[in-house]
Structure formats: structure tokens, C-alpha cells
Structure 1
């Protein structure tokens, strides 16, 4: 055709751009609701790099509610369970006070998370098209037209899950305000032929895996056998007057190849010359840039994961923030596509998740100071004080809830004290027998949980809301709970409102507000 590209026309309800953990989770959520979805991924094949290798407790709860956690647990990196961290300080975070069945972060390489999710997405009938680089995005009042290679797709909505350098965001010319990177580091999956006594033998708390020597800092995490995840950089003294130059340098060299020589030099500087590099499976560079979109929705285009926010990679927050974006957005977008949503439900994705993203940017910025690999006298003193604070149960509980996502509450305080909080995974006895609360959400439906036997059997519920009658030995704080598909309580009653028209009105109002 003399070099002329012939476009293949296609239609779908939703296009998801990006087949990372966020995009694949969203695609699965949409598939559960029966929404026709096409996933476009520019990479021809998955990069088998550890990257974000930790699932935080709240994310684990959400994955378990969809039956996605069990296959992931078969791929856990060997090691004893250990509490999370704040800024790498040597006090594990204790999630036990938050009453979760998953009190520890779970170490799983990101590419294995993606593999499991893509298998489930494919089994649900959703197509993932690889090697499809998006070149045009044209939104209008009715939908979005997308061009990727020789394919042109028309969809009702598009969700950009295509990372911190989002092509979709750039094509739409949306600003990505924030702070550029001032420091650069390397992440490499490596194999070691020989190791010194300084090399960690098993996974442990992050503070036990960190090492500094001269102008180098590193974290070496054993993955089993001779495989390690090696994160390292140079602890150059910070000079505020040079911040702009540092930012320019960090950004300009981010895409330069990582050489075996620099990996070897860092290994020898930190772990001795007897530590020998056997091979490099993959490597990349990253910076401590901090940015966030002002709006997660631009008409028919929405943003999730790193396409919406980036921050210093401290505490495994990025992967988990993106997955929780997807769980929040999926059921809302499905309801909008299928005409079941109240007018402002889809807008609640931004109003709920943008503050959560801003909070993560805020506390990772604080951690960035505390975790400075070349701390001055003042920062060293601050680390000592903060370490003492982490040993206080209330302070530890607060930061454990923050880092794990277990303390997240949607909406403003007011009304019933349970509204907006996550529903605990309680043991129930239903008409079908014993069950955990989390198992009621495998279909992606909302659940009206009747613990008092007062909800009328003939109650006319909205679509995709299941009535479950049960008893529970634990006091959940209410006789009737309306729980969203993402596991957050949007309405609670003590039994006095559990009468036909009144309850239906309360449910309808709760579904309309949601936040």
C-alpha cells in the first residue's frame, strides 16, 4: 500500500491503556460487571522485573475479596513475614490493631502479579492487545476515538493506566504539576556468582536490607537462589542552590542504559570485591519526582495509577495506590456504562481518590527527608526522634494504618460512625452455611448485609446489590450494613430503619452519594 497504514475499525465500551497491575485490575473489575473492554499495551511482551514487589494489607484484602489473592500467594518471595516500614526506620509497623487477616506486606514480584491478573482477565473474555502504541486520543461528548498502530477504536470511555510518562496524558496536553526528580537511583534484578558475609541471606525488614558505604547506598533483597533485587544510588550531599541543576540532570539521564560496570562498582563498594555479579536480568532508573494530576477525569477520559500520580518509591505505595484506584473506579465506571449510575457517581472517583493520592505524595515526601542516604546532623537527629515515636503504640498504629491503607475512610466524618470505613472480614453464618464477609464480593456486587433479620424478603433492590442474611458473633457496630463492591460501608442502620420504603430510600440515597 506504498507505506499507507490501513486502519482496522473497532468498537468497545471501554478502552484501558496500559497492562500493568492497575490496568489489568480495572479490566477485571469491568469484566465482572459484563462491560466489554479492550486493553491496549505498547510493550510486545511483559517485562519480568520485580519493580513494585509488595502488596500492602488493604490491597491484599481487596484482592482476596475477588478470589485473586490465592493464586498470588503461590508466587510469594521466600522469607519470614515482617511488618512494613516508614522511611526505612528500624521499627516494624504493626497492623494487628487494625483487625486484618493480612497484617504483613506480601512480597511478590510485580511481573508475577501482572501475569496472574492477565490470566484472569483473559479467562473473563477481555482482550489484551500487546504491541499497540497509542498515537491519537480524540474525546468528544459521546465517547473517545483511539488510534493505536493499525487499529482505530471507538469507546464510550477510556482509562489511562499507562504510567508516569502517560502517552494519553501527553496527547491530551494535560499538565502534571509537582516537583521534578532531584536524585536518581537504579533498580536491577541481578544474579550473584559469589557473595560476601555482608550480603543478606533472606528477606527481612527493610532496615536490615539497607547499607551505606562512602558515597553509595543500596538495598539488596534476596529473591531465592542466586537472584537479588538490587536498588542503589549515590548519596551526594544536597545543596539547595543546585536543586534545579540536580533536577535537570536526574531527568536527562533517566533513560540512559544501566551498565554492568556501574552495578559491579556499587556491589564492590557496598558488599566487597568478593561479591561477584553473575548476570543482570533487567535494569532501569528512577527518580524521586512527585507529581499529581489536578483532575482524575477529563470528560470521557479517566486516569489511574502512575498516570495520575507519581512519588518517591518508599513503602511500596505506588503499586498499591494504583490497584486501589482500580477497585474504586471499576464498579463506578461499569455502572456509568450500563446506565445504572446516579449522575455524579463517576465524579466521586476523583473526589475520593485524589485526596488519597495527595496524602501518599505528602507522606512519601516526609519519608524522603527521613530516608536521606546522606543525612546531615539535623536529619539524623530527626530520625532518632522519629524512631522513638514509632515505638509508641498509638504512633505506630497511626502510621501502620496510613502505610497499609487500612485506615482509609472515604468522605467526611458525620452520620453513622461506620460510614466510609472498610468492612471488616468477619466470620458469618449465612443461609448457605459459614462464610467470611470477604467471600460475598467475588462477583463484584454490592452487599446489603442483614444481621438482625429485619430486612423485608421482598425488598426491591437495585441491580448488582445482593441481600445476604447472616449472623455474626462479632459486633460489627450495626444491624444492617450496605457495603460497596470495593468493601467500604456506605450506609449502616441499627434496625429501626429496616422497613421497606424507608430502607429502600436510605439505600437509594446512599448509592447516589457514595462518598
Structure 2
């Protein structure tokens, strides 16, 4: 009998994070299998927007077009929400311009305006769009499912992981009955109640929940009785919009009970009437979910041949739309590294950088979400705090700080190096040939950008055992002479003086290749 197949990587969980990771792994040559317990994509209303790091990850993989098409349809829906009673909906162009001024919220304070940022702020050169794009999580999942199919990723639905066994050579996963699947590595992308995390003993410390939240798409009999947007009351907080029928309620009376029970129309109506104080009735429910605000994070993202990503590694409240984006960032960071290890292009210690780079990012997000819960509490002391925070957000510096915080502009990795771009997302440079730097990342490799015009850096990339694409061009007003950018879009090396100083070391560190100084090349 033929020996059962051993996969390079087994991904438990076929939501957006698992699919994004599988796409990245496959793009870099790994043999990957995705197991998803649900037979169909989960259409329950969840995250509603993607931020700058996610948008730029999609741009690098040539996935922006579907997002732009969805945005066009979404604007028409928002226009209906903004229509005054008895008047036609505003023109979509008016809505588009108004949306440009919305940089998200912090604790329900919608004061953040990206159009007030300085055009020459160096933190803004990583993108050419808004810090947020409204796109429901189910649409992101559909986009990534299509991408996975294009890349030939095998996704098995209706298959739940129930047991995990590890040894020195790999991982064996049992799914339901007798079926056992073998892989060299296992990545748990199976959500906040991750079976993989529990089965393999990851520490998961954090803070306990204190709220009960509901989010739903519903039909309301008198929607005009509800304020539009975010409203804080003596009981809690409720949200109405930005699309017709979307509601969210938050009550500060402890975590929800019966988390696994279906959310009923009566439950939603009771919460909405209680928090809003309005006489409204919910007549139909399209999609609904409960949530709370327990905030926890594993102490390390890897235990031997098992790794975690997304909600399996960190959970928190949904405020500020951070969770989906945080998980996509995990997948983008881990994908190329794990593929390099399983394909023999890198030593296993490259995987240690996954925790060291991503753990601080998630820890900061947990702080952000805890702060927002505190800022939304009922009571006069919180009201006073909100007044002070509102004044701060009205200032130039305060607005910039919070727009960049929510939009993901502030994310950095500690990669060493003395150039200010090292460790941050690459700038969206427009090159002389009409392309952008992002256009050269569709195949997922490293990019070495030579802006000196002399093609002098190419020799340093010769012999690297990972794909290092050398792009020689010019870029207006960049002040740069060269950049080395990792597959995840983060800058690993940069110079402005026309030399290659530090480049061999950066190539050696990240491509795991001994990059000797080529004959005739100058390093200083």
C-alpha cells in the first residue's frame, strides 16, 4: 500500500487568516492543505473594514480590484442610509468625499479625519488611499477563497480537527473519526476557541470579559427613532449604520451567557431597546452574533512544529476593527518564512522571528481595545474622560496619532539597521517606468530596488537561494538609492548615499544565504 501523504503545512481553519496563510505558503512553493470545520463560509456579520497593512498586502498580490468593485456598491448602500426622510439619497460622489474624512473611531469617538494629515508626513507614504476601506469579513474571505483556488490550494470543508499529536518529525492530526492527516508543520488559524491551541498547551494569559455585545443585520420597524452612527447612553452603547439595518449594542453587565446558542430576534430587540431607550421593534434578522471583550494573547506563537495565527493567538473586543487585520498581518509575516523552512531554503530559527515581530504588534492592539472599552463605559467619570479625549483628537497632533494608530500606519518591526525605513512597511514608490514598487511583488519574492540608475546592486543578489528580484529604476523625490524589501513588504535594508553598505548582511540574514561581496562591487 502507498504511504499516506505528508503535507508540508497543514492549516487548521479556512477563514480569512487561514486562507491568506495558505495563499502565501503556496505562492512560495509549499504543499499546503486547509481544513475547515464549516461546510460553507460563515456569513455571520463580523469585521467590517480593512486597514492600511491589509490593503497594501492585497496590493502587493494584485488583489485590490475586487475590493474597489465592492467599495463602489457599498457607497450606494451608505448613500441610502444618509438620505433625509422624504428626500432622495445623496449622490455617490458626495458620499465618497464624505467617506474620505472618516478615519475610523476610537471608543466610539468619530473624530478621526485623515484629510487633516500633513501630505508630507513620512508615515503616509506607504499607501495612496484612505486608512480604512469598508469591506465585510465575508467578502474578504470570498476574495481569498478565489485566490486560493487560483493557486491550487486544497481546502477541505466540513472537516474538524479533534486531536493533535506531535513528534520530532512532524504533526499528526485526527479529524473526527479514524482519519489521520500527517504534516511537517501545523498552523492553528481556528479562532479564539482554538482546538489546536488547547491541544498543544499554549499559555494564553490575559484579562477577563466585562461586556455583552451584539452585532446584527436586521429590519427595524421605525429606524428613524435611532440615532445614526455611535451613541453612548446611560446603559451602554449602540450603533446604527453605516449601512441600513446594521446595529451593534454593548452592555456593561458581564459576559454573555449561552455563547453557543443561536442569537434570537427577541434577544437582539431586548438589547437594542434597553440600550437605546427607543420604542423600536426588530421584525427580521439576516445575520447576528454575540461578542465580549476578553483580551488574551499566547506568550509565544510557536511550540516546535505547531504555530498559531489570528484569533487562535490573540483575542480582544472588535472595537476599531483590529482583529481581522491583525490576523492577516500574522499570515503575511509567517507565510514566506514557513515556506522557506519547509522548502529547505532557511534554517528553522527563522520561525523564531515570527513571534518576536508579531507579538508586540498584537500586544499593542490588546491595549488599544482595552482602552476603547474603558472609554465607552457609562457614568460621569468616563464622560469627563471622553470630553478630554475629544479635545485631544481635535488637535493636529492628536488626530494624526489616532488616525495612524487605528489605520495601522504605526506598525514597526525591530529589524536593526540604521536607516529609518528598516522595519516599517515599504513606501509606495512610483517608478519611472510607470509601475509602483508594489507591482513587483505579485510573485511573492524579495525585491532589491536599485534607484541609483547604475544597476550596481544586482551582483549582490547573485547566488541567493530565494527569489530576489532586482529592479533598476528611478523614483521621484524619494531621496533613496536602494531598498531591500522582504516578501511581506517590510524594509530590510535601505541607503541614500549610493553605496551597498550593509546589503550583504541583510541578504544573508533574511535569505539565509552567504552573500559574499561580488568582484568589483564597492561597499562604501
Q: Which residue of 2 aligns with 1:186?
A: 214
Kept in 2, the 8 Å contact 1:255–1:285? The answer is: no
1:455 counterpart residue number:
456
2:255 is aligned with 1:228: no
Answer yes or no: is 1:14 the counterpart of 2:9.
yes
Q: Which one of the candidate residues 104, 107, 123 is aligned to 2:134?
A: 107
**SS of residue paired to 1:358:** helix
CA-based RMSD: 2.3
| TM-score normalised by length of structure 2 | 0.85
Aligned to 1:139: 166
The 3-state SS of whatever aligns with 2:319 is coil
Tell me the distance in 1 between the aligned counterparts of 2:257 and 2:263: 14
Residues 50-199 of structure 1: pairs in structure 2 closer than 5 A: 50-76=45-71, 77-78=74-75, 79=78, 80=95, 81=99, 82-94=102-114, 96=117, 97=121, 98-99=124-125, 100-150=127-177, 151-192=179-220, 194-198=222-226
Q: Pick from 282, 297, 300: which aligns with 1:295?
A: 300
Asked if the contact 1:482/1:489 (under 8 Å) is kept, the reply is: yes
| Structure 1 contact 217–235 (Cα < 8 Å) conserved | no
Compared CA separation, residues 413 and 434, structure 1 to 2 (3 A):
same
Which consecutive residues of structure 2, in runs of 5 or more, have no partner in the other structure?
79-94, 514-524
For 1:429-468, list aligned pairs within 5 A.
Answer: 429=432, 433-452=433-452, 453-459=454-460, 460-462=462-464, 463-468=466-471
In the alignment, is the contact (CA less than 8 A) between 1:181 and 1:251 conserved in 2?
no
Residue of structure 2 aligned with 1:364, choices 366, 369, 376: 369
8 A Cα contact 2:44 2:289, kept in partner:
no
- 1:409 matched to 2:412: yes
Structure 1 residues 385 and 174 mapped into 2: Cα distance closer, same or farther (>3 Å)?
same
CA distance in 2, matches of 1:449, 1:440: 10
SS at match of 2:484: strand
Q: Where do residues 423-434 of structure 1 align in structure 2 (5 Å cutoff)?
A: 423-429=426-432, 433-434=433-434
Specify every segment of 5 or more residues in structure 1 that has no aligned partner in the other structure, as ranges. 1-7, 201-208, 237-245
Q: How does 1:242-253 map to 2 (within 5 A)?
A: 246=254, 250=255, 252-253=257-258
Instruction: Give 1:454 shift.
Output: 4.3
Residue 353 (str. 1) matches residue 358 (str. 2): yes
The Cα shift of 1:189 comes to 2.1
Please state how far the C-alpha of 1:165 moved relative to its aligned partner. 0.4
Other-structure match for 1:335: 340
Aligned length, in residue pairs: 474
Aligned to 2:88: none
Structure 2 match to 1:27: 22
Pick which of 346-355 and 96-105 moved more: 96-105
Distance 2:132 2:24 in 1: 23
Q: In the superposition, relative to structure 1, how do residues 137 and 23 fare at CA in structure 2: closer, same or farther (>3 Å)?
A: same
1:325 Cα deviation after fit:
0.7
* Equivalent residues of 1:11, 1:155 under 8 A apart: yes
Aligned match for 1:210, one of 213, 230, 237:
230
SS of alignment partner, residue 474 of structure 2: strand
The alpha carbon displacement at 1:199 in A equals 5.4
Residue in 2 aligned with 1:203?
Answer: none
Cα 1:47–1:106, aligned 2, differ >3 Å: closer, same or farther?
A: same
1:323 shift after superposition: 0.5
User: How far apart, in 2, do the equivalents of 1:267 and 1:299 lie?
Assistant: 46
* Superposed displacement of residue 66, structure 1: 0.7
Per-residue CA deviation, residues 162-196 of structure 1 (Å, 9 max, x unaligned), is 11000111111323111121111112222335532
Aligned in 2, Cα 1:180/1:170: closer, same or farther, shift over 3 Å?
same
Contact 2:256–2:290 (CA<8 Å) still a contact in 1?
Answer: no
CA offset digits 1:280-314 (Å, max 9, x no partner)? 12222111101000110010011000000011211
Residues 144 and 155 of structure 1 are in contact (CA less than 8 Å); yes or no, is this contact kept in structure 2?
Answer: yes
Q: Which residue of 2 aligns with 1:241?
A: none
Q: Deviations over 1:58-114 (max 9, x none)?
A: 211111111122212322332442211221113114274423212231111111110
Q: Shift of the alpha carbon at 1:213?
A: 4.8
Q: Which residue of 1 aligns with 2:483?
A: 481
Choose the corresponding residue for 2:37, options 42, 48, 63. Answer: 42
The alpha-carbon distance between structure 1 residues 420 and 110, as it changes in their structure 2 partners (threshold 3 A), is same
Query: What's the counterpart of residue 243 of structure 1?
Result: none
CA spacing shift, 1:121–1:388, aligned 2, 3 Å:
same
Note if contact 1:85-1:93 (Cα within 8 Å) is conserved in structure 2.
no
1:194–1:461 Cα change, 3 Å: farther
Call closer, same or farther: CA 1:10–1:115 in 2, change over 3 Å.
Answer: same
